[in-house]
Amino acid sequence: MLDPQSEKILVRFIQELRALLAEELIAVALYGSGAGGNFVPGASDLNVVIVVKEARFDVLQKLQTRLAEWHTQGFAVPLLLDEEFLRRSRDVFPMEFHDIKEQHRLLWGEDVFRALEIDTRHLRFQAEHEARSKLLRLRALYLECAGDPPRLQALLLDSLKTFLILMRNLIRLHGKTGLLTYEQVLDHFEQRFGQAFPRMRQLIAIRAGRQSWPGTSIADFFRDYLAEVQQIVAVIDSLPPHASPPHA
């Protein structure tokens, strides 16, 4: 749930966006942690998706002029979509569209995501691609910042959300939806696949400010976390190649 200051920021953002884009603007929605139960004031970004009639270059230019100021207000880079992209890419980005459809808050305009029909034939393949590519990226980033504990801590916290979203989509393959908090996702994933992810559970608590970093070395923590990511990859490997949610 958003704090009052973030709510005020969103009101000003919508006013500014409507003035910038005028008739081009179709919808604006908040998604991610701000639209669910995982938002941490001062730590979480405000993730917004902007839907326009056509994502022309002049639209990008208008948004770019305000991006630096939006960053200072806590916004991530907005996700810009147009009608054609929504229509033609539902089979390419099933994870992203599912997450936005299931957990978004309409801020202005037409709720194009509520009625969006998503092609889930490639969801399992996308999940594997994402998991393996992020695992490779984690290894590479560790090589870069192994000697810098604060950077390693930031890397762990930054990557956590990615893998929890992957978990949520793997759970979706088995017909379970509506898991809004990261704790719910982790609980259900552990129960469904018979795995345990203690480091990820610690990171959720650290991210929410309920727990401090443990006294163990950050290198040991990272080693354990990397092993948990590899567990996720192993779960995906165990799924049928063409797994898709029931009634997808």
Residue 32 vs residues 102, 133, 236: alpha-carbon distances, Å: 10, 21, 23
Q: How confident is the model at residue 248 (pLDDT cuts 50, 70, 90)?
A: very low
* Structure-model confidence comparison of residues 151 and 173, the more confident one: 151
Report the candidate in 125, 131, 121 with the shortest Cα–Cα distance to residue 91.
121
Tokens representing 16 are 């500014």
Do residues 102 and 11 both lie within one domain? Answer: yes
Domain final position from 109, 141, 162: 109
Asked if residue 246 has pLDDT above 60, the reply is: no
**DSSP-assigned letter for residue 75:** B
Do residues 91 and 156 both lie within one domain? Answer: no
pLDDT digits (tens, 9 = 90+) for 179-199: 668 999 999 999 999 999 999
pLDDT at 106: 97
Is residue 247 domain-resident? no
Is residue 200 domain-resident? yes
Do residues 96 and 149 both lie within one domain? Answer: no
Is residue 243 domain-resident? no
Report the share of the chain in percent with pLDDT over 90: 71
**What total number of domains does the chain contain?**
2
Contact 235, 167 (CB under 8 A): no
Q: Domain with 18 in it: what CATH number?
A: 3.30.460.10
Q: How confident is the model at residue 173 (pLDDT cuts 50, 70, 90)?
A: confident
Mean pLDDT of all residues in 120-133: 89
Is residue 12 domain-resident? yes
Do residues 53 and 76 both lie within one domain? Answer: yes
Do residues 65 and 34 both lie within one domain? Answer: yes
pLDDT digits (tens, 9 = 90+) for 216-244: 899 999 999 999 999 999 999 998 876 55
Report the candidate in 169, 179, 46, 44 with the shortest Cα–Cα distance to residue 97.
169
pLDDT digits (tens, 9 = 90+) for 149-161: 999 999 999 999 9
pLDDT at 225: 97
Is residue 18 domain-resident? yes
